Structure 1
C-alpha cells in the first residue's frame, strides 16, 4: 500500500511538473509574440514599413512618415530602484541636420536613463525662461546650440506629461515618451514587470511623429536662413 501511495504521489508530481512546464512554455510563446507585435497597429502610419526586433524582443518599426524617414524603438526599463518598471518609446527622424551640436532636454533626469546619452553631454545649461520647471538641458557645445527661440517654439511637445526627452542633433531629432508602467499590484506582490501586452495605439504615436516633422522643418529652415545671412 505504501508503495502504491508513493507511486501515485510521484505520478501526480510528474503530472504537475508537466502541466507547469506547458503553462510556462505557452506563456513564454505568448510573451514573445506580444513583444514582437507591439508596433503592428502602427504599421499603417508608415509608407513602406519595415519590421525589426531589438534584443529585448520588442518590435522596431521603420519606414517613411509624410515622406521623411522614421524609426520607432521600444525599450523596457526594469532597473530595480525605479518606483515601477517602465516601457519607453523612442521616436526618431534620422538624417543630417544643419546644427553643430546636440541639445538634449529631459524632464527629471535621474542619470541612469537607458535610452539616452544625456549624461555624456559635457555642458549642463541653466534652464531658460519659460522652459518646463522640472527640465534639464545639456549639450556637447555651448557655441553651436540650436537657437533658443526655435526650441521654445516647440516646447508644447512637453504638454504631454508622458514625454520624457527631446533631442536635436546633427544626426536627427527624437522624442522619448512613456508608453506604460508595470501594473503596480502585480509588480509589488509578484515582481511581475511584464509590459507591452496590448499593442501601442497609433493615436499615441502619430502626434509625436507630427511634432518631430514640424521641428525638423524649422531646424532645416533655420539652417537655410543662416546660410543666406
Structure 2
C-alpha cells in the first residue's frame, strides 16, 4: 500500500512538472512572438524594409524613408537601480554628413545609458541659453561644433518629456526616446519586466524621422552655403 501511494505521488509530481514546463514554454514562445512583432506596424513607413533580430529577441528594422536610409531598434534596460525597467527606442539616419564634430545632447544623463556613447565623448560643454535646463552636451571636437542657429530650431523636440537623446555626428543622426516602462505592479510583486507586448505605432515614429530629415537638410544647406562663400 505505501508503494502505491508513493507511485501516485510521483505520478502527480511528474504531471505537475510537465504542466509547468509546458506553460513555461508557451509563455516563452508567446514572449518571443510578441517581441518579433514589435515593428510590424512600422513596416508601412519604409520602402524595401529589412527585418533582423537582436540578441534581446527584439527585431531591428531598416529601410528607406522618404529617400533616406533609416534604422529602428529598441534596447531594454533592466538595471536594478532604476525605478522600473525601460525600453529605449533608437531612430537613426546612418548617412555621411559634412561636419567634423560629434555632438550628443542628452536629458538627465546618469552615466549608465547602455544604448548610448554619450560618456565616451571626451568634452562636456557649457549649455547655451534657452537649451533644456536638465540636459548635458558632450563632443569630441569643441572647436568644430555646428553653429547654434542650426540646432536651435530643433530644440522643441525636447518638449516631449519622453525624448532622451539627440546625436549628430559625421556618420549620421539619432534620436532616442523612452518607448515603455515595465508595469509597476507586475514588476514590484512578480519582478516581471516584460515589455514590448504591443507593436509600436508608426504615428509615434514618423514625426521623429521627419525631424531627423529636417536636421540633415539644415546641415547640408549650411555646408553648401559655407562652401559657396569660401569659393
**Structure 2 Cα separation of the partners of residues 148 and 54 of structure 1:** 36
TM-score (norm 2): 0.97
**Structure 1 Cα separation of the partners of residues 197 and 182 of structure 2:** 10
How far 1:2 sits from its partner (Å)? Answer: 2.1
Corresponding residue for 2:66? 66
Corresponding residue for 1:82? 82
How far 1:217 sits from its partner (Å)? Answer: 0.6
TM-score (norm 1): 0.98
SS at match of 2:70: strand
How far 1:153 sits from its partner (Å)? Answer: 0.9
Corresponding residue for 1:115? 115
Task: Tell me how many residue pairs correspond in the alignment.
Answer: 229
Corresponding residue for 2:178? 178
- String of CA shifts for 1:149-192, please: whole Å, max 9, x gaps: 11111001111111100011000111001100000111111111
Corresponding residue for 1:103? 103
**Structure 1 Cα separation of the partners of residues 149 and 9 of structure 2:** 75
SS at match of 1:61: strand
How far 1:95 sits from its partner (Å)? Answer: 0.6
SS at match of 1:153: helix
How far 1:203 sits from its partner (Å)? Answer: 1.0
Corresponding residue for 2:18? 18
**Structure 2 Cα separation of the partners of residues 53 and 19 of structure 1:** 30
Corresponding residue for 1:91? 91
**Structure 2 Cα separation of the partners of residues 205 and 223 of structure 1:** 27
SS at match of 2:227: helix
SS at match of 2:6: helix
Corresponding residue for 2:134? 134
How far 1:147 sits from its partner (Å)? Answer: 1.3
- String of CA shifts for 1:18-56, please: whole Å, max 9, x gaps: 000000001111111111111111000001111011111
**Structure 2 Cα separation of the partners of residues 9 and 226 of structure 1:** 83
- String of CA shifts for 1:72-124, please: whole Å, max 9, x gaps: 01110111111111001100011100111100000000001011110011110
SS at match of 1:96: coil
SS at match of 1:173: strand
Corresponding residue for 1:215? 215
**Structure 1 Cα separation of the partners of residues 96 and 226 of structure 2:** 16
Q: Which runs of 5+ in 1 are unaligned?
A: none
**Structure 2 Cα separation of the partners of residues 84 and 102 of structure 1:** 31
Corresponding residue for 1:6? 6
Q: How does 1:142-181 map to 2 (within 5 A)?
A: 142-181=142-181
Q: Does 1:45 align with 2:70?
A: no
SS at match of 1:154: helix
